[in-house]
Amino acid sequence: MRYLWKFLTAASEVRQFPPATVPEIAFLGRSNVGKSSVINSLLGEKVAKTSSTPGRTRTINFFSVRRPGSSQSDVIFADLPGYGYAKLPREVTVEWPRFIDPYLTDRRSLALCVCLVDINVPPQSRDRQLVEFLKAAGREFLLVGTKADRLSNQQLRAAVEGLKNEFQAERLLPFSAKTGAGREELWKEIRSVAERKVEP
Ligand code: GDP
């Protein structure tokens, strides 16, 4: 099934967030992890910009997503700024405390954080910090390992186990925007979250 999407807004302040009316999925990851490619793969179109300059998106970009035939959005996708780009220390000192931490901590409709980690590289401290932050905030998260097509099946199994262990997570879903691996599984997770009600 092809989902329909609409760009809602790009927010760099809490007051610019759209109304919290439907369940929301946040996409998080280090710059260049393949976040735009994951979102584009899910929605089947070039929605998120795949950027050649790491760390350029400095806003949370909100997209309304709905099934064909639905009169309103079923779920909102929130594309968060890529983090961990060393040349931009501003992101940690200024932008995260100003609107990203409050988003992750307080956003009522935030139902699932999709945490993207590159399955080809060893665990990164910024990813670990994020996972710790989400656990402390009591947020539901799903680890997704990007660029899985670059590994053999055997390497993939080892990488999944290693990352799960490192992040003390029960699951890690391998994903490839290139081959479509993991796409249906991720949609299944998103659909199950989308069925929830947002408390008024
Ligand atoms: P973002 O900065 O996190 O949004 O990452 P992008 O989606 O722009 O991707 C960063 C780089 O990784 C680009 O060169 C992509 O072509 C590459 N990439 C993204 N997804 C995949 C994938 O599934 N497989 C492979 N092999 N490369 C990927």
* Structure confidence by residue, pLDDT tens digits, 8-45: 999 989 999 999 999 999 999 998 999 999 999 999 87
Give the nearest ligand 1 atom to 37 CA.
7
In this structure, how many other beta carbons lie within 10 angstroms of the beta carbon of residue 97?
A: 10
Instruction: Give the contacts of 1 (CB within 8 A, at least 6 positions apart).
Output: 67, 68
Predicted pLDDT at 113: 98
- Of the pLDDT bands very low, low, confident and very high (cuts 50, 70, 90), residue 56 is low
Whether pLDDT at 136 is above 70? yes
Provide the sign of the torsion angle of the four alpha carbons 190, 13, 130, 61, taken in this order: positive
Which of 27, 33, 39, 50 has most ligand 1 atoms within 8 Å of its beta carbon, as the pocket-test mutant?
A: 50
Which of 31, 33, 35, 37 has most ligand 1 atoms within 8 Å of its beta carbon, as the pocket-test mutant?
A: 37
User: What CATH class has 4-196?
Assistant: alpha beta
| Contact residues of ligand 1, CB 6 A cut-off | 29, 31-37, 50-51, 82, 146-147, 149-150, 176-178
Give the nearest ligand 1 atom to 50 CA.
8
Alpha-helix runs per DSSP H in the chain: 35-43, 90, 101-106, 125-136, 153-167, 183-194
- Ligand 1 centre distance from Cα of residue 79 (Å): 15
Provide the sign of the torsion angle of the four alpha carbons 75, 53, 172, 157, taken in this order: positive
Q: Are 66 and 3 a contacting pair, CB within 8 Å?
A: yes
* Whole-structure pTM value: 0.93
Instruction: Give the contacts of 87 (CB within 8 A, at least 6 positions apart).
Output: 55
Instruction: Give the contacts of 59 (CB within 8 A, at least 6 positions apart).
Output: 10, 11, 12, 81
